[in-house]
Structure 1
Amino acid sequence: MIALPEPRALVVRSADGASVHTEVYGPEDAPTVVLSHGWTCSIGFWAAQIRALAADHRVVAYDQRGHGRSPVPAPGGYSTTALADDLEAVLAAVLRPGERAVLAGHSMGGMTIMAAAGRPRFRDHAAAVLLCSTGPSRLTAESTVVPLAPGALRTRLTAAVLGSKAPLGPVNGVSRKVLKYATMGPASAPDRVDACARIVHACPRPSRYGWSQVLAGIDLEADLRELRVPAAVLVGTADRLTPPVHSRAMAGALPHCTGLTELAGMGHMTPVEAPEAVTAQIRELTLTYLGARPTGKEAKA
């Protein structure tokens, strides 16, 4: 695991009173980046980006409700509305009125950005976004985790696999192989597979199941079209959970898509599998839309 600098931690209260654990890294007066992780992950999933960006950016990362240090939601606390509420609450807590940031969302974190796209507070604070390894709808229908031809049977089996209530158990050789097959590219380095496995296995079972039910029926197509800030899209060509078909469609539907990047051979966990490429996309957005310029080692790279 990548060691992180010491964060400034705060607890943000969402609209329904839920606690959202949030961490801030880097200089307080630097351009701000907000990182929103995906299903079964946590702040630690962004470790490479936090390490690389915190030297000359104010980096804000938070644990989605039911993940990391954010408590498991109460009944009824799982919804795209809750995701958007939590993101809005984080933005309000860390940014002054009218202050803008670049937002990056991976998987469910990208869906969080879509869900919030039409909200005034989001529009007030979002300068640009990165939608990373994500999709707005038809997640179980398009997933290729189950190696069958597209159709109703594959969709049902995918929903059953991803929505299983079974405990994941300890991280071991078998669980690493399963996670690598389902979520990562075939050439993923063992240490990166292990890092992802430890993060995913740490997600509480009730939260994993609760969010799986939301994702199975998610439809954010209309919200995607409300995302009127500059948006970059990134995906791995070997992504089985949110295959490139989603990213290509999003790039065509977004009002202001700045580009589609397809990373050859990479799977779903792109911030861990291809950290330099994801960080470069975030840096490009901060340079273009916040005027952020790298300093020190990053400026010489």
Structure 2
Amino acid sequence: MIRPTPATGGRYAPPAAVRELTARSADGTALHVEVHGPEGAPAVVLAHGWTCSTAFWAAQIRELAADHRVIAYDQRGHGRTPASPASPACTTDALADDLEAVLTATLAPGERAVIAGHSMGGMTVMAASQRPAFREHAAAVLLCSTGSGQLVAESTVLPLRPGRARTWLTGRILGSRAPLGPVTPAARRILKYATMGPASAPDMVEACARIVHACPRTVRHAWSHVLASLDLEADVRGLRVPVEVVVGTADRLTPPVHARALAAALPDCRGVTELPGVGHMTPVEAPDLVTGRIRDLVAAHVSPRQPAVPAAPAEESA
């Protein structure tokens, strides 16, 4: 099947990277990494969510790269990162391994960065919270539209009463092996209903649909099982850096109940922002706010004087 490409024009078209490299995870997975912006500038690391890719952060990369060094990478099986060559298993430990590899490959020893994670990317940050590389490099965190557990049970994608029936049906839908097919008007309407707020502009919906429909169905299915059984509550309590949380009030995949639970469990939560009418795709639906939160965290917690030499050699992509 020919998969759709990201948007080619406008705010949501992915900008060209200053350089691309490959970071090797613990099991040998070759992670596609992009670096945008000037060397030596304050660093920001972006981790995208389930069925997405680096293209999801296009609006943030474009704005932040003017005066930040922005590091974005494709999660395993997504975008230009293949699935694990050693094992088909998908786990939160693997996500944490991958984030550690990216931090080590792109940041100098002792260099600190703001790390932003959306949805599964936020779960990646939680899973890595007690890893040595994360503790060395994380200055502050932004969690967008994410949760630490009970994702399927709390989802409101289906307009049914909470309970076993809704949870079972939601799990079947999210874990479906069915191909998404081409981006058609019907596909846009379905994706908008499930993942975005009712006022989302057509260019937002188009950008998200192109990204989500490009994710291989085997990858989508495999990671759905990890999300269904997610339990990162202990890792949330281990996230001991300043954290801000952003969620849309119309988020059907990770409703605001998750953001409030995170705020209650985090050792150093600096606030929860609930965006009226916004759905699950907060970096696309509210790009200026998300970018602004990242900028504020950098200004408050990252020194403007950063080492210019990467911490470890990495494989440059062709």
Q: Does 1:88 align with 2:100?
A: yes
Cα RMSD (Å)? 1.1
Secondary structure at 1:114 match in 2: helix
Q: How far apart, in 1, do the equivalents of 2:137 and 2:52 lie?
A: 24
Q: Does 1:138 align with 2:150?
A: yes
* CA deviation map 1:22-52 (0-9, x unaligned): 0000001100000000000000000000000
Q: Does 1:100 align with 2:117?
A: no
Distance 1:180 1:292, change over 3 A: farther
Identity in percent:
68
Alignment of 1:203-242 (within 5 A): 203-242=215-254
Q: How far apart, in 1, do the equivalents of 2:109 and 2:163 lie?
A: 47
Q: Does 1:189 align with 2:201?
A: yes
Distance 1:59 1:277, change over 3 A: same
The residue number in structure 1 matching 2:272 is 260
Q: How far apart, in 1, do the equivalents of 2:73 and 2:143 lie?
A: 17
The residue number in structure 1 matching 2:169 is 157
1:5/1:51 contact within 8 Å kept: no
Equivalent AA in structure 1 for residue 166 of structure 2: R
Structure 1 runs (4+) greater than 2 angstroms displaced = 72-77
Q: Does 1:32 align with 2:32?
A: no
Instruction: Identify which of structures 1 and 2 has the higher relative contact order when contacts are C-alpha pairs closer than 8 Å and 6+ apart.
Output: 2
TM-score (norm 2): 0.91
Q: How far apart, in 1, do the equivalents of 2:131 and 2:279 lie?
A: 31
Secondary structure at 1:12 match in 2: strand
Higher share of residues assigned helix = 1
* CA deviation map 1:228-247 (0-9, x unaligned): 00000000000000000000
- In the TM superposition, what is the alpha-carbon distance from 1:205 to its structure 2 partner? 1.1
Secondary structure at 1:45 match in 2: helix
Q: How far apart, in 1, do the equivalents of 2:16 and 2:209 lie?
A: 22
Q: How far apart, in 2, do the equivalents of 1:122 and 1:60 lie?
A: 15
Equivalent AA in structure 2 for residue 34 of structure 1: V
The residue number in structure 2 matching 1:116 is 128
Secondary structure at 2:236 match in 1: helix
Q: How far apart, in 2, do the equivalents of 1:72 and 1:235 lie?
A: 29
Q: How far apart, in 1, do the equivalents of 2:197 and 2:304 lie?
A: 32
User: What are the ranges of 5 or more consecutive residues in structure 1 without an aligned counterpart?
Assistant: 294-301
2:17/2:34 contact within 8 Å kept: no
* CA deviation map 1:244-295 (0-9, x unaligned): 00001101110000110011100000000110010011001000001459xx
Q: 1:54 aligns with which of 65, 83, 108?
A: 65
The residue number in structure 1 matching 2:290 is 278
The residue number in structure 2 matching 1:296 is none
Q: How far apart, in 2, do the equivalents of 1:6 and 1:85 lie?
A: 24
Distance 1:6 1:23, change over 3 A: closer
2:41/2:69 contact within 8 Å kept: yes
Secondary structure at 1:167 match in 2: coil
The count of aligned residue pairs is 293
Q: Does 1:68 align with 2:79?
A: yes
1:72/1:204 contact within 8 Å kept: no
Q: How far apart, in 1, do the equivalents of 2:165 and 2:16 lie?
A: 47
- In the TM superposition, what is the alpha-carbon distance from 1:97 to its structure 2 partner? 1.2
